[in-house]
Amino acid sequence: MLTLMNLLTPAKDSGVYNLYFGLSLTMIILMGIAALAAIILVLMQPSNSTGIDALGGSSETFFGKNKGKSIEAKMKKWTWICLAVLVVFAITFYILQLESIWA
């Protein structure tokens, strides 16, 4: 009885299996690390909405004017980088899976 995993992987007696298994495991681990980093960065960022502060008439501050150079801007940049890395790894993993099916 063939399982889905047997259909997706090369035969275990072939030399390609070890390379395929190693690449697949590495890609899954790297995708997990990139996803966890993105989640942590998103949770650490403050909200962009003013919410209840808008009722108090809060004024513009020096920190608010210089958000481009702040820690918040750096965290936003690193969030986009982590998400881009995650997308690249996911596409690469998908292509790797397609190559194993057609090989």
In this prediction, residues 16-22 reach a mean pLDDT of: 77
**Residues 70-103: tens digit of each pLDDT:** 888 889 999 999 999 999 999 988 888 876 665 5
3-state secondary structure 32-75: HHHHHHHHHHHHHCCCCCCCCHHHHCCCCCHHHHCHHHCHHHHH
Answer yes or no: is pLDDT of 59 > 60.
Answer: no
